[in-house]
Amino acid sequence: MKNLLEDGIKCLIVQSKFSKFSFWNYKDVCKLVGAKYPAAPLGLITVAALLPQQWDFKIIDANVEFLLDEHFEWADIICCGGMLPQQQSTLSVINKAHRYGRPVVVGGSDPSSQPELYQSADYLVIGEGEVTIPMFLQDLERGCKSGEYQSVEKADMNEAVVPRYDLIKFKDYIQVGIQYSRGCPFNCEFCDIIELYGRKPRTKTSDQVIKELQALYNLGYRGHIDFVDDNFIGNRKSIKKVLSAVKEWSEAHDYPFYFSTESSINLADDDDLMQMMQDVDFRFVFIGIESPEDEILRLMNKKMNVNKSITNAINKIYSYGMIVNAGFIIGFDNETDKTAQNMIKCIQESGICMAMLGMLYALPNTQLTRRLEREGRLFEESSTLSATDTEIDQMTTGLNFMTTRPRLDVFKDYIQVIKYIYDPRHYFERVVHTCLNLKPVNKYKPSFWMMLKRLFVFFELCLKVGFDKKIGRLYWKTLVIVIFKNLRAVEAAVNLAAMYIHFYKMSKFIIDSTDEAIKKMEDSEREKDHKKLYFHQTNHIC
Ligand code: B12
Ligand code: SF4
């Protein structure tokens, strides 16, 4: 093996493939707008910035291009890793690298949560790279051929490096990420963020955030930036400082970017904060609503959502120009036969178009997993996704524990909600609701060429969706209503309509596969009943 600390070491960084069908895998929409995948691999370009800068890096994102033999031949060392839905792909990269005799370094969320599954890697770098990559590099210096690196220490975000944005091809992605903070002050039972990153949000300074914006600007990037924080408003005092700096910078640079992020619902209680977000052109916010029922929210310890009118909160956020995407979960202990209806009502009345509904999954290393283990209800010790082409993600292949309600009822409720909310009529009703309440500022102005490209995409969408038998009429009706009643939200209406191409396919896949699972469960129930009956009868005869 080469001395890996030499100058010019060739380091291949692989973004492993995500499982095929996922709420976030809107590849069709990407294709429509000329991109290949929604989000750029921020974790890996951060890793590249933490490794020796005299190395020669090549990033291959297996979601946008083929990972070829020649890439393995080129490399002296391979870095790979990621989330649970990338597990199979990461493991196969390790195998292949070994076939080429190349050492592999693995890290990221899933290897950090379940290191036992990645023991085949040569170097297993657990947790935050800012802390553990230096430990790995020290071992390399000592000539160690393998190792596992972990630390109880958390990274100091004030010392964070600027990710190597120069390594990615911007045109492949719809959005690029910036991370301003890690951790969240809340304490939801099912959440692994607080276990991995802590409950005290650690934040970058305004100067650091501006430095990253400037780096992207200097590289010629324009458009959508996603603040990939666990909870953007975890430390409200600090984020307000950052937002005023971003406003000043954006004004000086003629608003080259617009933004999205993830936040808790108490964002709706802070008008000043929402105004500041609107001032710099935040357009989307993802909120974990999980359930509209207070009893269920109390059990999962999501206290900030209790006693809140979700509809009012969401409408208020729309009024500051931000479209709300939200997460919902089915499968909690104290659900009832009203759960599905309540969820449908909440999603429909608040007009949430992009509602990510999953079945509860006890992620490794959470309070929920520990409780279920204590109660003897957890099915498996580790979480694996075996078939990335048929399994979607850990949300839709959820319920890895014994439910309190009959499992079949939970599945039926799940499918009932999915069928309802992604029925074209109901989806487009929500698009109208959102767009009539939305007050976008659209400060980011695309360049002339970008405008031309968008116009072209719009015509393509009109051809694709506008003449579709099922949704054509709904599409035109939605556009006409929005044009006449709230013209400035027309871009949002077109974007949300385009997203339906993805939701239609995704929901059809979920409906078909869940229906099949329901049928299997019903058959096995019938078989059990039949056996009971047979047993009962034979007993009688005896
Ligand atoms: C932004 C984000 C997304 C974005 C963008 C993802 C992307 N492609 O970059 C979107 C919204 C698309 C997304 C989607 C999903 N996400 Co997500 N996401 C996040 C979030 C909030 C931030 C990730 C991030 O960019 N962090 C910033 C970078 C700098 O950190 P990082 O990636 O962790 O990398 C650091 C270390 O992990 C380490 N590292 C990472 N890789 C490697 C590799 C090597 C070799 C080494 C040495 C080190 C190393 O070093 C880095 C620097 O410290 C995290 C939460 C979190 N705080 O991690 C969840 C998170 C990663 N997501 C998660 C999940 C489950 C999902 C979904 C499956 C949700 C769903 N049900 O659909 C989907 C799957 C996506 C898909 N395409 O199918 C889980 C993963 C859980 C797990 N145990 O694997 C997390 C942790 C959230 C959670 N609640 O648990 N996600
Ligand atoms: S608000 Fe979100 S990030 Fe914070 S603890 Fe709850 S689920 Fe986790």
Q: Partners of 57 in the beta sheet?
A: 11
CB atoms within 10 A of CB 375: 12
Instruction: Decide: 42 in ligand 1 pocket, CB within 6 A.
Output: yes
Stretch 486-498: mean pLDDT: 96
- Nearest to residue 327, comparing CAs of 343, 306, 308, 341? 343
- The ligand that comes nearest to the alpha carbon of residue 289 is 2
Please state whether beta strands 202-203 and 181-182 pair in parallel, antiparallel, or not at all (unpaired): antiparallel
Atom of ligand 2 nearest to the CA of 230: 3
Which is the CATH superfamily of the domain at 160-361? Aldolase class I (3.20.20.70)
pLDDT at 253 over 50: yes
pLDDT at 391 over 60: no
Atom of ligand 1 nearest to the CA of 133: 47
Residue spans of beta strands (DSSP E) within 230-340: 257-263, 282-290, 323-330
With 0-12 / 13-18 / 19 or more C-beta atoms within 10 angstroms meaning exposed / middle / buried, residue 507 is: buried
d(CA 447, CA 432): 28
Probe target for ligand 1 pocket from 112, 228, 396, with the most ligand atoms within 8 Å of CB = 228
CB of 489 closer than 8 Å to CB of 440:
yes
pLDDT of amino acid 384: 63
Q: How far is CA 442 from the centre of its chain?
A: 24
Answer with the residue of higher pLDDT: 415 or 386: 415
Stretch 192-220: mean pLDDT: 96
- Reading phi first (left if > 0) and then psi (alpha if -120 to 50, else beta), residue 349 is in alpha
Atom of ligand 1 nearest to the CA of 114: 83
501 C-alpha to ligand 1 centroid (Å): 25
408 C-alpha to ligand 1 centroid (Å): 31
CA-based torsion, 378, 380, 382, 384: positive or negative: negative
pLDDT at 535 over 60: no
Banded model confidence at residue 367, pLDDT cuts 50, 70, 90: very high
Stretch 114-125: mean pLDDT: 96
pLDDT of amino acid 365: 83
- Reading phi first (left if > 0) and then psi (alpha if -120 to 50, else beta), residue 220 is in left
Answer with the residue of higher pLDDT: 375 or 364: 375
- Cβ within 8 Å of residue 335, ≥6 positions away: 293, 296, 405, 410, 413
pLDDT of amino acid 3: 75
| pLDDT over 70 percentage in the chain | 94
The owner of tokens 């099912």 is 190
What is the residue with the minimal CA distance to atom 35 of ligand 1? Answer: 43
pLDDT at 487 over 90: yes
Q: Find the residues whose C-beta lies inside 6 A of ligand 2.
A: 184, 186-188, 191, 193-194, 230-231, 264, 288
pLDDT of amino acid 396: 55
- The ligand that comes nearest to the alpha carbon of residue 267 is 2
pLDDT of amino acid 529: 63
> What letter represents residue 279's amino acid?
D
pLDDT of amino acid 397: 67
pLDDT of amino acid 27: 87
Atom of ligand 2 nearest to the CA of 290: 7
pLDDT of amino acid 74: 97
**Domain chopping of the chain, boundaries:** 10-149, 160-361
Instruction: Decide: 39 in ligand 1 pocket, CB within 6 A.
Output: yes
What is the residue with the minimal CA distance to atom 6 of ligand 2? Answer: 188
d(CA 189, CA 139): 37
- Nearest to residue 417, comparing CAs of 352, 494, 333, 498? 352
Banded model confidence at residue 381, pLDDT cuts 50, 70, 90: low
Probe target for ligand 1 pocket from 24, 174, 190, with the most ligand atoms within 8 Å of CB = 24
Could you confirm whether domain 10-149 is CATH 3.40.50.280?
Answer: yes
Banded model confidence at residue 525, pLDDT cuts 50, 70, 90: confident
pLDDT of amino acid 319: 98
CB of 315 closer than 8 Å to CB of 437:
yes
CB atoms within 10 A of CB 448: 8
pLDDT of amino acid 389: 52
Instruction: Decide: 83 in ligand 1 pocket, CB within 6 A.
Output: yes
Task: Give the CA distances from residue 499 to residues 345, 347, 408, in Å, rounded to whole numbers and listed in that order.
Answer: 21, 17, 30
186 C-alpha to ligand 2 centroid (Å): 6
pLDDT of amino acid 542: 35
The owner of tokens 């709230």 is 486
pLDDT of amino acid 531: 60
Question: Backbone phi, then psi, for 307, in 5-degree steps?
Answer: 55, 40
pLDDT of amino acid 532: 56
d(CA 34, CA 228): 23
Please state whether beta strands 147-149 and 202-203 pair in parallel, antiparallel, or not at all (unpaired): unpaired
Atom of ligand 1 nearest to the CA of 105: 45
Stretch 435-455: mean pLDDT: 94
- Cβ within 8 Å of residue 3, ≥6 positions away: none
415 C-alpha to ligand 2 centroid (Å): 25
pLDDT of amino acid 386: 54
> Three-state SS across 393-421?
CCCCCCCCECCCCCHHHHHHHHHHHHHHH
pLDDT of amino acid 112: 92
- The ligand that comes nearest to the alpha carbon of residue 303 is 2
Banded model confidence at residue 332, pLDDT cuts 50, 70, 90: very high
pLDDT of amino acid 539: 41
d(CA 524, CA 316): 47
291 C-alpha to ligand 2 centroid (Å): 13
pLDDT at 538 over 50: no
Joined tokens for residue 46: 């951060």
pLDDT of amino acid 8: 83
CB atoms within 10 A of CB 324: 28
Instruction: Decide: 15 in ligand 1 pocket, CB within 6 A.
Output: no
> Three-state SS across 329-381?
EECCCCCCCCHHHHHHHHHHHHCCCCEEEEECCCCCCCHHHHHHHHCCCECCC
Model confidence over 83-99: pLDDT tens digits?
A: 988 999 999 999 999 99
pLDDT of amino acid 394: 46
Q: What stretch of H or E contains 202?
A: strand 202-203
- Nearest to residue 472, comparing CAs of 482, 460, 463, 459? 463
Banded model confidence at residue 286, pLDDT cuts 50, 70, 90: very high
d(CA 143, CA 141): 5
Joined tokens for residue 222: 């324009």
Joined tokens for residue 459: 């015509």
Banded model confidence at residue 536, pLDDT cuts 50, 70, 90: very low
d(CA 14, CA 170): 17
Stretch 117-122: mean pLDDT: 97
What mean pLDDT is reported for the chain? 92
What is the residue with the minimal CA distance to atom 55 of ligand 1? Answer: 230
What is the residue with the minimal CA distance to atom 50 of ligand 1? Answer: 129
Probe target for ligand 2 pocket from 264, 267, 298, with the most ligand atoms within 8 Å of CB = 264
CA-based torsion, 19, 25, 31, 37: positive or negative: negative
| pLDDT over 90 percentage in the chain | 83
Joined tokens for residue 542: 């005896």
What is the residue with the minimal CA distance to atom 8 of ligand 2? Answer: 191
Banded model confidence at residue 19, pLDDT cuts 50, 70, 90: confident
Probe target for ligand 2 pocket from 179, 184, 286, 368, with the most ligand atoms within 8 Å of CB = 184
d(CA 357, CA 297): 16
d(CA 472, CA 477): 9
pLDDT of amino acid 537: 42
CB of 170 closer than 8 Å to CB of 340:
no
